């Protein structure tokens, strides 16, 4: 099939082209994000392949349908950027990559946590400038802490396994907890996890029910000095509320690989520009805030899995096979 790959980077192209050797689709790459204004680029394509920050609202999907696009093949797990009802209205199935590498994201959680706990980012910069003083670099042990996980899917449970390896007591919340769990953790209500955890890691999809699940009220119920880590979706946290809690000390450390207004910022080089997002600019000034640009998935293994699953989804559609990774409005 003829596939328009939007919001593509060098690593997308290399891994998709390598994986496509076994599938034989015609891949055309666009750097532009897919939206209503770029939808005309999809003319004469059977499939569009968007990424996590592309916006497929009703207007965009209507335009894609008029252009003859028959399939939306997301190369990511998140689908909150797609109007699933509109896709169903126009008869365009939507597929995704539900589990490309849970361990990749889970390990990034601890990259953030270890950097915050041992201040290695600050130490690195000091040493490069010839400053070998230790003052201000006091950290804390992860061992013995209570680690809270909100969302016990594949990534959440992979994170729980690592936390247990560090010697943490693990608490978890999920609206649909697994019937069988191979991790030594205690399932509780969301409120109980928030109240008891020293460290909280978010692993839920962004839905209407989870939007701003961490807000001024819920943050206030947490332990003073709580460490919050988000490698899932930026909209799970009310960033203004988090900013206030950082100022008061209620939040002792914040590690973000996602941000609720990351579109147009993350994945871009803005080093020669003025950062127009005042909240994001303010966050970067805190010594106990660490922000990475949505790179939790970015490992060789994950990229290969994403490419293979995405192309398999397209081949299944082309061959009239069941779409095991289809996302429907009921999701």
Alpha-carbon Rg for the chain, nearest whole angstrom, is 21
User: Has 121 been annotated as catalytic?
Assistant: no
**Could you give the CA distance from residue 4 to residue 70 in angstroms, rounded to a whole number?**
12
Catalytic status, residue 26: no
Catalytic residue among 33, 71, 108, 233: 233
Q: Catalytic site residue 164?
A: no
Phi–psi pair at 292, nearest 5 degrees: -115, 160
Which is the catalytic residue, given 164, 262, 268, 326?
262
Neighbour-count burial for 297-325, b at 16+ CB within 10 Å, e otherwise: bbbeebbbbbbbbbbbbbebbeeeeebeb
| Measured distance CA(219)–CA(217) in Å, rounded | 6
The catalytic position among 135, 294, 301, 324 is 294
Measured CA to CA, the distance from residue 66 to residue 145 in angstroms comes to 55
158/213 Cα distance (integer angstroms): 22
Q: Give me the DSSP letters along 276-317.
A: --HHHHHHTT-TTEEE--S-TT-SHHHHHHHHHHHHHHHHHH
Report residue 20 CA to chain centroid gap.
25
Give SS3 for 27.
Answer: strand
Residue numbers annotated as active site: 233, 262, 294
């Amino acid at each position: 099939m003829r596939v328009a790959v939007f919001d593509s980077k060098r690593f997308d192209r290399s891994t998709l082209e390598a994986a496509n050797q076994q599938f034989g689709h015609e891949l055309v790459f666009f750097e532009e994000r897919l939206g209503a204004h770029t939808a005309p680029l999809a003319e004469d394509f059977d499939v569009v392949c968007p990424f996590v920050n592309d916006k497929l609202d009703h207007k965009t999907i209507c335009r894609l349908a008029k252009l003859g696009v028959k399939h939306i093949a997301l190369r990511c797990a998140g689908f909150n950027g797609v109007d699933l009802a509109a896709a169903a209205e126009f008869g365009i199935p939507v597929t995704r990559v539900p589990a490309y590498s849970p361990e990749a994201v889970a390990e990034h959680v601890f990259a953030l946590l270890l950097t915050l706990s041992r201040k290695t980012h600050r130490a690195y910069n000091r040493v490069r400038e010839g400053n070998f003083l230790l003052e201000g670099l006091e950290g804390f042990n992860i061992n013995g802490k209570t680690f809270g996980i909100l969302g016990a899917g594949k990534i959440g449970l992979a994170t729980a396994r690592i936390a247990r390896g560090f010697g943490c007591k693990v608490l978890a919340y999920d609206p649909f907890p697994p019937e069988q769990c191979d991790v030594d953790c205690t399932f509780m209500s969301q409120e109980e996890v928030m109240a008891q955890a020293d460290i909280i890691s978010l692993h839920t999809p962004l839905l209407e029910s989870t939007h701003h699940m961490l807000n001024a009220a819920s943050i206030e119920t947490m332990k003073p000095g709580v460490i919050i880590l988000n490698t899932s979706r930026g909209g799970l946290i009310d960033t203004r509320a988090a900013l206030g809690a950082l100022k008061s000390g209620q939040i002792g450390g914040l590690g973000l690989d996602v941000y609720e207004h990351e579109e147009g910022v993350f994945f871009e080089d803005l080093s020669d520009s003025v950062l127009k997002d005042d909240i994001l600019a303010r966050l970067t000034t805190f010594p106990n805030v660490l922000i990475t640009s949505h790179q939790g998935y970015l490992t060789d293994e994950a990229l290969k899995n994403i490419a293979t699953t995405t192309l398999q989804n397209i081949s299944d559609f082309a061959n009239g096979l069941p779409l095991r990774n289809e996302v429907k409005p009921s999701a």
